Amino acid sequence: MSKPLVTILGKMVRNVAKLRGGGSALPGLVVERIDHDFIKNTLSTLPLGIVVISGTNGKTTTTKMVVELLESQGLRVFTNRTGSNFTRGVAAALLGDIDIKGHLHADIAVLELDEAHAVHFVDKIPPRFSLILNVMRDQLDRFGEIDYTTNLLRHIAISTTNTVVLNREDPRIADISKSLEKQKVKFFGLEKKLSSVFPSDDNLHNHSSDQHATIDADVILSEFTDNSATFIIDNQKINTNLKLSGVYNIFNAAAALTLVRAIIGEKTNQSKLIKALSQTKPAFGRGEKLIVDGHPLELVLVKNPSGFQLGLKSFDPIKYATMIAINDNYADGRDMSWLWDVDFTSLMANGVEQVSGSRAYDISLRLKYDNVPVTSTDLDLKKALKHFISNNPDKPKRIYCTYTAMLTLRRSLSKITDVEVIK
């Protein structure tokens, strides 16, 4: 089947799926079945090639940062904006951006990819640049031991043709550099005083490590507050205000800066780069702030102990009504035993107003062991959300939620407030 015909059919499926409220990846799945080389052929024309971003935590917001930073340098960027990080999500995003003849008008593609799916992707389409953020014990029912996940990420790096950006503070990620012979390697990192704020998986499980003595980093996060950060770049301290929320997003800003500097090189306009960073907001559901009945409601995505722990550190529960929504669908990971590695004691004073999702009783039990009072538990997310909002009319609200729970909550919230539409 010719590419224009595949494009027309794919766009038709995409329009029907949108009308019926279907998943964003469905049209991509259909197109992949018809033309196995659809993504490869479409992206092959990009003059600056492809960037792959992967890792356990922070892919979606980091990808959004990288896109906006590259756009600040005058580039036209294609990306999979929905956060659907399987290859079918990339195909679906392409259907939204290509013209009727199947042409993609962009200079570079920046793709967020799930660790396992990225391996298959890079075997067919080697990226010119890659960014490996971190590795945590996430979704062990899918990936098994953490060493296996690390090897998936190593495969991405080895398949990269130009530059690989690695996290200096994660010893498993930093060690990937030892497997790289032909690639340029750049690191992002922290000043030592911040190491305890951003624990690697080894730190979280009481295995100490210190990368500072031997590895130089291109961009270093030096210090931060709730709305600002200081980075060390080219031995100079650069301070900027931020609209990002969550300490993990601030560290990943160092990753995004390092990657963009590697892509643009000497032509980087640093003032525009920092200005763009200061204006970047978190990706949908990643510290996203909505307004409900005149009060803020924040959605915080959680999917593993480190991410949840950093989320709890990032957001003060005082004066906020808190809800936790935990699902165990495939995209969330079936194994929820990781909840027992999270310290919930910061929620003791205020308690949790509402617990929901298919694993509501699991999280309720976990909270009980940390002496965190729970007001209400309901498996039905829609009912639970309605109850949470109506029972806390005069308070700002915060919901910690797994991925599929977040999608359900956003759909319900879109009926009562302005929610960013992801095309």
Domains, the chain, with CATH or none: 3-279 (3.40.1190.10), 286-413 (3.90.190.20)
Structure confidence at residue 170 (pLDDT): 93
The answer to whether 57 and 307 are in contact (CB under 8 A) is yes
pLDDT in tens, 359-382: 999 999 999 999 999 999 999 999
As a whole number of angstroms, the distance between CA 149 and CA 63 comes to: 20
Structure tokens that stand for 248 in this block:
């993990």
Structure tokens that stand for 322 in this block:
């808190």
CA atoms within 13 Å, Cβ hemisphere of 151:
6
Phi/psi for 377 (5° steps) reads: -130, 130
Structure confidence at residue 398 (pLDDT): 95
The answer to whether 133 and 167 are in contact (CB under 8 A) is yes
As a whole number of angstroms, the distance between CA 207 and CA 201 comes to: 8
Question: H or E stretch including 277?
Answer: helix 270-279
Structure confidence at residue 3 (pLDDT): 60
pTM across the whole model = 0.79
Structure tokens that stand for 6 in this block:
């595949």
Phi/psi for 295 (5° steps) reads: -125, 150
Structure confidence at residue 277 (pLDDT): 97
The answer to whether 43 and 125 are in contact (CB under 8 A) is yes
As a whole number of angstroms, the distance between CA 307 and CA 56 comes to: 9
DSSP string, 174-228: HGGGGG-SSSEEEEEEE-GGGGGGS--HHHHTT-----TTT---SEEEEEE-SSE
As a whole number of angstroms, the distance between CA 263 and CA 163 comes to: 8
Tally of residues, the chain: 423
Q: Please give the C-alpha separations between residue 305 and each of 137, 320, 329, 403, in angstroms, as whole numbers.
A: 8, 22, 17, 14
In tens digits, what is the pLDDT along the chain, a chain of 423 residues?
Answer: 566 665 665 566 556 555 444 455 666 566 666 667 888 888 988 999 999 999 988 888 899 999 999 999 999 999 986 555 566 778 778 877 888 787 889 999 999 998 888 898 999 999 999 999 998 765 444 445 788 889 999 999 999 999 999 999 999 999 999 999 999 999 999 999 998 887 766 665 555 555 555 799 999 999 998 789 999 999 999 999 998 877 788 999 999 999 999 999 999 999 999 999 999 987 765 667 889 999 999 999 888 887 788 888 878 899 999 999 999 998 788 888 889 989 999 999 999 999 999 999 999 999 999 999 999 999 999 999 999 999 999 999 999 999 899 999 999 999 998 886 554
Structure confidence at residue 84 (pLDDT): 55
As a whole number of angstroms, the distance between CA 366 and CA 135 comes to: 24
Other residues' Cβ atoms within 10 Å of the Cβ of residue 55: 27
As a whole number of angstroms, the distance between CA 203 and CA 209 comes to: 7
E strands, 46-144, where? 50-54, 77-79, 108-112, 129-132
Angle between helices 59-72 and 247-264 (to 10 degrees): 40
3-state secondary structure of 33: helix
Alpha helix ranges (H) inside 98-180 = 115-124, 140-143, 146-159, 171-174
Other residues' Cβ atoms within 10 Å of the Cβ of residue 307: 23
Question: H or E stretch including 163?
Answer: strand 163-167
Gyration radius of the chain over CA positions:
21
Structure confidence at residue 354 (pLDDT): 98
Other residues' Cβ atoms within 10 Å of the Cβ of residue 386: 15
Phi/psi for 183 (5° steps) reads: -90, 150
CA atoms within 13 Å, Cβ hemisphere of 73:
24
3-state secondary structure of 409: helix
E strands, 203-257, where? 219-224, 228-233, 236-241
Q: Please give the C-alpha separations between residue 31 and each of 2, 20, 110, in angstroms, as whole numbers.
A: 12, 18, 20
